[in-house]
Structure 1
Amino acid sequence: MSNAIEYRLAELGLSLPDAPAPAANYVPFVQVGNTLYVSGQISMDENGLITGKLGDALDVETGAAAARRCALALLAQVRAACGGDLNRLRRVVKLTGFVNSTPDFTDQPKVVNGASDLMVEILGDAGRHARSAVSAGSLPLGVAVEIEGIFEIG
C-alpha cells in the first residue's frame, strides 16, 4: 500500500512534507499496540503558517485548504512513526479538527471536510473515519486550523 499511497499522492500532485517537530514539551505521536495517536498538526504550507479566523478574514474554501495541509502533515507523522513505511498504515480511525472561528461561524464541518475528503481521496475506504469538528476562539500562533488523528497501523 505504501507504493499505492505515494503513487496516489503523485497522481493528485501532492507530496508529504517533512514531519514537523514538536514546538513544546510533547511528542508528535504515541503508539499503543496497533493504534497511533498523532498530535495536532497546525495549518502551514511551503510559505509558512496559514493564519486567520474563519468567519472573519477567511472563507470556508480557504479553511478547507488549510485543513488539507493539516491532513498531509498528519500523514507525514504517520510515515515518520512507521519508519518511512506507509505500507503499515491500515486505516484512519478518527480525526478531531479545531477551527479558529468567530462565535457566529457555524461551518466548522465544511472546513474540516478538507482533511476528511483528502484522506478518502488518498486512501479510499481506509481513509473513512469518525470525526469531530469544533470551533476554537483562537489556536496556537494564530493558525486557522489544527487537526489531530488516530490511526491503525500494522
Structure 2
Amino acid sequence: MKMLFIIMIQFIFFIIKQMGQFLNVEILKQNKEEKKLNKVTYIQFWDQNREKQLNQIQKNDNNNNNKNNNNKNNNNNNNNNNEQFLPEFNSNIIFERLKHQKEFIFQINECHFINKKSRHGFRFEKISETQKNISYLLFLLKNFYFVFGVIQRKKVFFQQIFFKQFQD
C-alpha cells in the first residue's frame, strides 16, 4: 500500500514535469513567431528629439544675442537652455517595466522582458498577457516539482514522517 502511494505521487509529478516541458516548448515557438512579426522596440531616452532640442537652443542663443539683455536675464536664459539638454522620457513606462521584471526575478525562458542597458537606453521586448500568465504558471509548477523532488530523494525520511500516522 505504501509503495503504491509513493508510485502514484511520482507519477503525478512526472506528468506535471512533462506538462511544464511541453508548455515551455510552445512558449518558445510563439516567442520566435512574435519576434519575426514584432521588431524589438527601442526607447531612446537621450537621442529622442535631439535635433529639435539643438535647433531650439540655437534659436534661443540667437535671440539672446540680438536682444542684448542684462547679465541676469542672460543667465536665466542659459539656465533654461541647459534644462533642454535633459532627456525626455516617461517615468511611468520605466516603473511598469521594472515592476514587471521584479515579479519575474526567476526567469523560466526568454519570453520575459529583456531589460538590457545599451548606449541608447533600455530595450524591451513585446510579449502578450497570455505568455506572462503561462510563464508564471510554469514557474510555480517547476518550483512545486522541485520541492517535492527533493522530498522524494529522501524517501526514508519522508516515509518516517508521513506513514507514522498509519503505523500508529
TM-score by length of 1: 0.26
Q: Which protein shows a greater Rg? A: 2
Higher helix share: 2
Q: Which has the higher strand share?
A: 1
